[in-house]
Amino acid sequence: MDRMTLDQKLGQMIMAERASTTPDNVREFGFGAVLSGGGSAPGANLPADWVAMNDAYWMASVDDRDGRLPIPLLYAIDAIHGNANVLGATVFPHNIGLGATHDPDLIERLARMCAREVLATGLDWTFAPTLAVVGNVHWGRTYESFSSDPRLVASYADRYVRGMQGDLGRDSVIACAKHWVGDGGTTNGEDQGNTVLPESELDRVHITPYFPALEAGVLTVMASFNSWNAEKCHGHYHLLTEVLKQRMGFDGIIVSDWDGIDQLSDDYNEALRLSVNAGIDMIMVSVDWKRCLDGLRQLVDDGLVSMERIDDAVRRVLSVKARYGLFERVRPSERPWANHDSFGSAAHRALAREAVRKSLVLLKHDGSVLPVSKAARVLVAGKNADNRGHQCGGFTVAWQGVSGAEQIVGGTSIWEGIRAIAPNAVLSLDGSDANAAQHDVAIVVIGETPYAEGMGDIRRGGRVASGSGFGGPTSQLTPYGKTIELAELHPEDVAIIEAIGAKGIPVVTVMLSGRPLVVNREMEASCAFVAAWLPGSEGQGVADVLFGDYDFHGTLSFAWPKQARMSPKAAGMLFPRGFGMRMA
Ligand code: BGC
């Protein structure tokens, strides 16, 4: 650090988005890190494109011509359910499904697999795990949460970090516990909203999972968009510095969320001052990193941010890089896992498929329809039956996710999984071919379509704040819907179940969703009902269980609602946390 100029130090405090950052910018300003926001991808979005891109940034960061001090940069991505931004990645279930497996060992194995797929693309850092403890399923990010039970989230936190970071050797990836803190506790489940709680409750519910993550050595933590008792976390000295750094002893990097500091004040420099003085060490900037650099310089020159604070932040950045062995690593394209053929491999997909099997929760069974015989004449129907994009949900290839099969390279849709083991199965997406003389049973796959962040909120009205959507303001700034009652949210679902049932064909319903929903009518019309969450690319795992090769294993990690009320406390619950039936 003694050899660094002030400008070099300030550069290390910046994490800039790739679309607004060239390798020349990295060479000139020495950024500490570069990131990809959701859907921000180089070239044809194949591993080789990522490796080549990061190679160029890396070479720029270590260019020591003209007396520059070479400091390798870190590259970060949202590999939150596999390295799912990248085409051909193995996409495993979103966290809500992993919560239902109640299997910390599986979590560690999945995290290790995910680390390999991140390393295959030449990157270093993932913005995961999300340790949100969600209290209200109206939140659009409910699927990013393992559970509403802080103990379950805590039991995964250390295993996730260990799987990702390992022993910080060459097959490790830097983990990031997020979002600090109280993200899952906002009033009405509003994204980026306000969490109103006494500190003792914040501790008990939302801070609890961070202890095991820190014990496992998590190197980075991301600040949260939400406020705590009306004060934004991004500017919260008590939460960032006194609690996380001082009381809990966190000595890694606190990175801000996507332009999250901008919300602290209309005056950008004031927002910078508040956030850096509160304890933010690295600032995630979507576009205008120049404004950020100039602002930091101005604040230091004016004495509004002390050199001591800058040095503390830079020491944290460099010490994470040192602990991660970044100074000893070679350029991305020469690293042992770069472009490795384990990316999207059969072995990785087998593990994701195991996770799918274990995540399914059987909520209703009449005692006879399951398991479905492999010889049965099965009608497969419903809008989500043959849609790998819908299975994967948000944060897959694009920030808001994708529809169809084209962009989910590899894997199987639920229909493709059924077809592979039940030769007499036929597909009729709208169910119009249903005929009791021809079909013994129907498997109807219903539920939500992809969303991410605030666009997944269920709200009575209003617009939602944006997040890391790549490509500027998106047109989808409206919430997902107004109610968690599926019959209102997606009336086509109950309609197709009832229509097929009315023809005298027993219906097995499989629901894809990022949260529990009120499904009384759908359940009533079904002989069996399965919550399959957002299973990811390996739809085969659903067929594995429906046709009896494995029994159901998952149990709810969230209580299941009976009525659509804004406040979960006011609504009666249909099933408690821990509920889940077996076939046998
Ligand atoms: C999200 C974070 C994410 C970041 C980078 C933000 O909008 O809140 O969870 O890691 O974008 O993509």
Mutate to test the pocket of ligand 1, among 40, 78, 139, 285 (most ligand atoms within 8 A of CB): 78
Which tops the pLDDT comparison, 572 or 521?
521
Which among 55, 386, 453, 493 is annotated as catalytic?
Answer: 453
Burial (CB < 10 A; 0-12, 13-18, 19+), residue 26, is buried
Atom nearest to 178 CA in ligand 1: 9
Ligand 1 mean position, distance from CA 262 (Å)? 14
Name which residue sits closest to atom 11 of ligand 1, judged by CA: 468
- DSSP string of 502-548? HTT--EEEEEE-SS--B-HHHHHT-SEEEEEE---SBTHHHHHHHTT
The per-residue pLDDT for 569 is: 73
The per-residue pLDDT for 464 is: 82
Ligand 1-lining residues (CB < 6 angstroms) = 37-38, 78, 127, 178, 257-258, 453, 467-468
pTM, rounded to two decimals: 0.98
The per-residue pLDDT for 146 is: 99
Which among 108, 144, 190, 257 is annotated as catalytic?
Answer: 257
Average pLDDT over the chain reads 96
pLDDT band for position 476 (50/70/90)? low
Around Cβ 165, how many Cβ atoms within 10 Å? 23
The per-residue pLDDT for 527 is: 98
The per-residue pLDDT for 44 is: 98
Ligand 1 mean position, distance from CA 550 (Å)? 36
Q: Is the pLDDT of residue 474 over 60?
A: no
Q: Does 371 sit behind a cis peptide bond, omega within 30 degrees of 0 on the bond before it?
A: yes
The CA distance from 153 to 142, in Å, is 13
All structural domains of the chain, each given as residue ranges with its CATH number in brackets, are 1-76+282-298+307-339 (no CATH), 346-575 (3.40.50.1700)
252-275, pLDDT tens digit by residue? Answer: 999 999 999 999 999 999 999 999
Name which residue sits closest to atom 12 of ligand 1, judged by CA: 37
Average pLDDT over residues 341-363: 98
The per-residue pLDDT for 469 is: 59
Average pLDDT over residues 131-145: 98
The per-residue pLDDT for 391 is: 98
pLDDT band for position 570 (50/70/90)? low
The per-residue pLDDT for 473 is: 44
pLDDT band for position 442 (50/70/90)? very high
Average pLDDT over residues 62-91: 96
176-232, pLDDT tens digit by residue? Answer: 999 999 999 999 999 999 999 999 999 999 999 999 999 999 999 999 999 999 999
Active site residue 262: no
In percent, how much of the chain has pLDDT > 90? 95
The per-residue pLDDT for 472 is: 47
Active site residue 453: yes
